[in-house]
Homo-oligomer: A and B are copies of this chain.
Amino acid sequence: MQNFIKLLVLSILGWATMVNAADQTPAPSHGISYPTGWQNWSHIAVSHRIDNKTLRVILGNDVAVKAVRTGKTNPWPDGAIIGKVVWKETQLENWKAAIAPGNFVHAEFMFKDSRKYTESYGWGWARWVGIEQSPFNKGAQICTSCHTPVKDRDWVFTDPAIIPK
C-alpha cells in the first residue's frame, strides 16, 4: 500500500511538472503569440553584424521558406514568418579566426499578414529577449523605424542565401 501511495504521489508530481512545462510558453510580444517550434525551422541566411558584434541566423517557417525557394519575397506571402536569432560574438576555442555564437541575446520575428497588420506595413513585429524569452513590448515602431531603409523590399533586410536546389 505504501508503494501504491508513493507511485500515486510521483504520478501527481509528474503531471504537475508537465502542466507547468505547458505553462512556460512565453507571453505574447506586441500581442503576438510565441511561434513555438522555431528552433526547428530551416535557415534562410546568416549574418555577422560587426557594428554591434552579434552573429545571427535568419530562419523561416514553411511559408517563408517556400517563398524563398520560389523567389516570391517582394512582397512576402501572408502566413510567412521570418525569425532572426541573435548571439553576442565570441571566438571558437580551437580556431580563433572563427567568430562563433556566444551568449544568446534574443529571437525576433516578423509575421506577414497584410490584412491584420495594416498599421505596421503588413507585418506583425515581435521579439523575445534572453534565454528566458521575456516578451518585448516597447512598441513595434522601434522595429519599423530601424527597418525603414528597406521599406521597398517589403521591410526585410535579409537577402536569402544562395543554396543548391
Q: Considering the complex, give the chain B residue whose CB is closest to the CB of A40.
A: B42
Interface 0/1 of A48-86, CB less than 8 Å to B: 111100011101000001000000000000000000010
Docked-complex contact B162 and A101, CB < 8 angstroms: yes
Docked-complex contact A56 and B46, CB < 8 angstroms: yes
Docked-complex contact A43 and B55, CB < 8 angstroms: no
Docked-complex contact A162 and B103, CB < 8 angstroms: yes
Interface 0/1 of A84-128, CB less than 8 Å to B: 010101001111011111011001000000000000000000001
Docked-complex contact A99 and B50, CB < 8 angstroms: yes
Copies in the complex: 2
Among candidates B40, B107, B162, residue contacting A164 with C-beta atoms closer than 8 Å: B107
What distance in Å separates the Cβ of A107 from its nearest Cβ neighbour in chain B? 7
Q: Considering the complex, give the chain B residue whose CB is closest to the CB of A59.
A: B43
Among candidates B48, B51, B93, residue contacting A159 with C-beta atoms closer than 8 Å: B93
Docked-complex contact A95 and B149, CB < 8 angstroms: yes
* A18-56 contacts to B (CB < 8 Å): 39-43, 45-51, 55-56
Docked-complex contact A150 and B94, CB < 8 angstroms: yes
Residue among A45, A89, A98 having the largest count of chain B Cβ atoms under 10 Å: A98
Report B-chain residues with C-beta under 8 Å of the C-beta of A97.
49-51
- Give 4 A-B pairs besides A94-B157, A104-B164 with Cβ atoms closer than 8 angstroms: A40-B42, A40-B65, A85-B161, A107-B163
**A to B CB contacts below 8 Å, 22 in the list:** A39-B42, A41-B42, A43-B85, A45-B101, A46-B57, A47-B92, A48-B89, A48-B98, A48-B99, A49-B95, A50-B97, A51-B97, A57-B57, A57-B161, A87-B161, A92-B158, A100-B158, A101-B159, A104-B162, A107-B164, A128-B164, A133-B164
